[in-house]
Amino acid sequence: MKNRNLVVLVVEDSLMIITRIYRLLQELENIKLVVHAANYAESMKMIIGMNIDVVLLDINLPDKSGIELLQEIKSSHPGIKVIMLTNHAGDNYREICTYMGADYFLDKSNEFEKIPEAIRTVNLHYS
């Protein structure tokens, strides 16, 4: 089973978090491109205009909820893998996102270091 080179979209409005994610992703093989969007509207333009493979998605966005974006991605682009990465890590949010089709749900505070493994795992599902 061969991994493919992924295009990853990071949907996050915190510069500090974006910087940390970029550092983590630089260490991964099979990442072709990492792009960033700070809100729902920018994200949808990139999803429609690019061949996005994986979305790292925050729940709290400035213009709409990341849960709304998750729902839109899974209904219009079901092949895109979505990893929720949020400070809203309560069971209620986890259940909603899982129900909506999130492939992973990670807590920014306690599970940030699991991002590379989550990306490796979803990459295996493309093979």
Does the residue 72 lie in any domain?
yes
Sheet containing 6-11, strands listed edge to edge, beginning at the edge strand earlier in sequence: 31-37, 6-11, 54-57, 81-86, 104-107
**Structure-block tokens of residue 14:** 């915190």
DSSP state of 125: T
**Structure-block tokens of residue 63:** 């213009």
Q: How far apart are CA 59 and CA 63, in angstroms?
A: 11
Does the residue 69 lie in any domain?
yes
Does the residue 117 lie in any domain?
yes
pLDDT of residue 88: 76
Task: State yes or no: pLDDT of 53 exceeds 70.
Answer: yes
Task: State yes or no: pLDDT of 1 exceeds 60.
Answer: no
Does the residue 55 lie in any domain?
yes
Does the residue 45 lie in any domain?
yes
Domain that holds residue 109: 6-124
CATH label of the domain that carries residue 93: 3.40.50.2300
Indicate the residue type of 50. Answer: M
pLDDT, tens only, 79-111: 999 999 988 777 899 999 999 999 999 999 899
Does the residue 1 lie in any domain?
no
**Structure-block tokens of residue 20:** 């940390």
Task: State the total domains in the chain.
Answer: 1
Does the residue 13 lie in any domain?
yes
pLDDT of residue 125: 66
Does the residue 110 lie in any domain?
yes
SS3 86: strand
Nearest Cα to 52, choosing from 4, 88, 15?
4
